[in-house]
Amino acid sequence: MLTTKEKLFANLIGNFHTYSRNMARMMVKPKPIIKSKSELSNFIKGLGFGITPSLHDQKYYFDTWDKWLKAIEIDWTNMNKYLTDAFDCDNFADIFNARMAEYYGWNTSGRLSVALYRPNTNQIIGYHRASIIVALEGPILRAYAYDPMIGMEDKYDKIEEAFIRIKNWVYAPNYISFN
């Protein structure tokens, strides 16, 4: 059981969370456009990775890349402390994806599991989890790889021709899912 003082602090944390979510919504002004599960699936399949995405919702809520950039700039996921095996890349990506759904109603930021390679040697470094964001550029869907664990600079890449490079790593996707 919480003490009275602890309950007060818990209430303050809840109020701060609500306030920060409302402020973020006012700054970004989301206006999502709804598309079907099959539209998102066909788009991901068309990226050239040979991956059929795992999709858990029937409707997906897309917004413009400009609004995503605002949301990314506001987001503080990368301020979390990295803890090997306890709070690492998959946790950063999952928190970012969930926050985008909670704050803006966007369920078009999904899990992007990848093998990491050094670009010059093609040597595998290991495996990693980032996010894949599907956004609108005008009426056209575009995909971006985004790594919420990295700082604001150089942490996303527009996916073109089945190629992803963020900072000094090449990302080779092996699993994509949205919920």
Number of domains in the chain: 1
Q: What is the pLDDT along the chain (179 residues), one digit of tens a residue?
A: 999 999 999 999 999 989 999 999 999 999 999 999 999 999 999 999 999 999 999 999 999 999 999 999 999 888 888 888 888 999 999 999 999 999 999 999 999 999 999 888 889 999 999 999 999 999 999 999 999 988 655 578 888 877 798 888 899 999 999 98
pTM above 0.85, yes or no: yes
Give the pLDDT confidence score for residue 133 in this predicted structure: 97
Residue 1 in any domain: the answer is no
Residue 153: predicted pLDDT: 55
The residue whose two tokens read 């942490």 is 155
**Which residues constitute the domain of residue 77?**
31-178
Predicted confidence at residue 119, as pLDDT, reads 84
Does 21 reside within a domain? no
Token pair 């995503």 is at which residue? 68
List phi, psi (to 5°) of 59: -120, 145
Burial 87-103 (b: 16+ CB within 10 A, else e): eebebbbebbbebbbeb
**In this structure, what CATH number is given to the domain that contains residue 80?**
3.30.460.70
74 lies in a domain? yes
CA R_g for the chain: 17
Given this model, what pLDDT does residue 143 score? 96
